[in-house]
Structure 1
Amino acid sequence: MPLREHLRELRRRVVLAAVGVVVGAIAGWAAYGTVFDLLQQPLVLAAAENDAVVSANFGGVATAFDMQVKVSLFLGVLVSSPWWIYQLWAFVTPGLTRRERLAAVGFLAVAVPLFLAGAGTAWWALPNAVRLLTELTPEGATNFIDAQNYLSFVMRLVLAFGLAFLLPVLLVGLNLANLLQGRAMLRGWRWAVMLAFLFAAVMTPTPDAVTMIVLALPICGLYFAAVGIALLHDRRTDRRRLAEGLPRLDGTVPEGWTPAAGTRTPAA
């Protein structure tokens, strides 16, 4: 596919994904009150445990309106996740065979639960993070947290972990499209583990190592699962290519193999 066609396809997928997010945001607008109460729960718990004043502060005339718009868009991203994940997958893997597309559809069904599991994991860690961070407030001081900054903090945490849990699915998609080999993913496992722990440490600003480890281990496990699936796919693809008279994906061939017939020549 020419570069211009790729760009057109990318624009088409982005527009379709954005339409899905807007539709989800309309539903999120109606659920704003309930969701905002849930967002305040970590602040309420932190205030109760620290015996201090901790609350969200609306510092401007239009802040409440901006807050509702942002929360609605945030909910739109979560609600429409099956739609925009499909658009992302369809752009990454446009050249799959019919059989590979059927396998991809089955694996795509795992992507949405993984994204939601990552978002749920971040939500689980949020109260602990808010409690520990607000404990640093000096005695006698009042911690009025800017509502928009607090929402940005929550959105970054939730979406970052959702996308981190989704990354292995994208790696498998690149492998199914023969753009990334399983051996390359396996060689980079040390970097992957280090980045997973670094990501967990940065995104969970808490001093305890337990939370960081609990968040990093699932990401590492998903990465190695993606590596295993990619290696199995590469093995099947290599066998098919050799049978068709083509070299392996990495350009190597077995000893005694002839390109014309795709078979081994008898040993001398």
Structure 2
Amino acid sequence: MSLVEHLKELRRRVVISLLALIIGTIIGFVWYQNAPFGTMPLGEILRGPYCALPAENRADFTGDGECRLLATGPFEMFMLRLKVGALAGLVLSSPVWLYQIWGFITPGLHKTERRWTFTFVFLAVTLFVAGAVLAYYIVAYGLDFLLTIGDETQIAALTGERYYNFLLALLAIFGVSFEVPLIIAMLNVAGVLEYASIKDKRRFIFVGVFVFAAFITPGQDPFSMIALALSVSLLVELALQFCRWNDKRRNRERPEWMELDDEAASPLSTGPGGVDAPQPVEAPAPIRESRPGAGGAPAGGTGYFDDVL
């Protein structure tokens, strides 16, 4: 396709993704306070880790012991509901926009690589949801650790904005971080990243994962940092093993000369078929000798060779 056709295709896929995101956001906005199909309201689900804390560690705003968050502005509750609905819409519409992203990339791939489309979309959604679910259960331990420090002199009175910002950030960070192994596997399938080029860099990768987890987690509590680092490290190792299996399946082995130092000379191959391998010498062809008197040769002469003359 021409550049204009590529831009038109990109516009079409972006519009489809935005429509899916808007529909998902509407569903999440309604689900925030209503419980369709017998499920719990989304707001109550997200409030669960905070309400799981002991009653003495959180402020009671209603006087009846019911778990509530504090709102300090007239538009705060509406904006929080819209923010939660947008994140829910992002997750609900993820199969659509992930498929659109992959569909825009696949024309540049081989036919066998395009078969990974469904697997890529399914794994991307599964990994994001798995990361968000793990963060949801970890946040209860993080809040218990953070809100009970100095509880002898103070009590936690969280506003809805602060609590939801903390929770949604943690859910998004865990979900996006769980996509890193899928990106590694996708680059390997596309032929960009080979196992041989990263197999000796595991220590640096895992150290980088732990440093990333220490800086990216919003609460800076040890529970969320350790959980994120260990889970992502495990998934990265699984992705590396997939790269190893995929490269072996394709028989893409690294040549020996690439393992040498930059200033070292590669050994010449002396085996059959090598660069300086001994080659068989053809047998010499016999040279015809002319008989005396034949072909114009002088009679009685000693003879001469036709090809010389």
CA gap of 1:255–1:167, structure 2 versus 1, over 3 A, is farther
User: Are 1:125 and 1:204, in contact at CA under 8 Å, matched by a contact in 2?
Assistant: no
- 2:233 pairs with 220, 240, 248, which one? 220
Q: Point out where structure 2 has 5 or more consecutive residues left out of the alignment.
A: 34-40, 61-66, 259-266, 279-309
Compared with structure 1, are the counterparts of its residues 232 and 44 closer, same or farther at alpha carbon in structure 2 (3 Å cutoff)?
closer
Aligned match of 1:78 in 81, 91, 95?
Answer: 91
| Secondary structure at the counterpart of residue 178 of structure 2 | helix
* Alignment partners' CA distance in 2, 1:121 and 1:88: 26
For residues 226 and 4 of structure 1, the distance between their equivalents in structure 2, rounded to whole angstroms, comes to: 36
Unaligned 5+ segments in structure 1 are: 242-246, 257-262
Contact 1:93–1:176 (CA under 8 A) maintained in structure 2: no
C-alpha displacement of 1:206 = 5.9
| Residue number among 124, 129, 133 corresponding to 2:146 in the alignment | 133
How many percent identity over aligned positions?
32
C-alpha separation in 1, matches of 2:176 and 2:129: 9
Q: List per-residue Cα deviations over 1:192-234 (Å, max 9, x = no partner).
A: 212322333342736546x543432221121122222223333
Aligned mates of 2:204, 2:113 — CA distance in 1:
29
For the 8 Å contact 1:95–1:177, the answer to whether it is kept is no
Matches of 2:58 and 2:162, distance apart in 1 = 23
The amino acid that maps onto 1:39 is L
TM-score using structure 2 length? 0.68
Contact (CA 8 Å) 2:169, 2:218: kept in 1 or not?
no
Distance in 1 separating the partners of 2:208 and 2:11: 30
Q: Give the secondary-structure state (helix, strand or coil) at the position aligned to 2:158.
A: strand
Q: Deviations over 1:139-197 (max 9, x none)?
A: 45453323222212111111111111112112222222222232333343223212322
Cα gap change, 1:185 to 1:83, in 2 (>3 Å)? farther
Residue 21 of structure 1 is matched in structure 2 by 21
1:109 is aligned, of 122, 147, 150, to 122
> Which structure carries more strand by proportion?
1
Which of 39, 44, 49 is 1:37 aligned to? 44
Of residues 162, 165, 180, the one that matches 1:149 is: 162
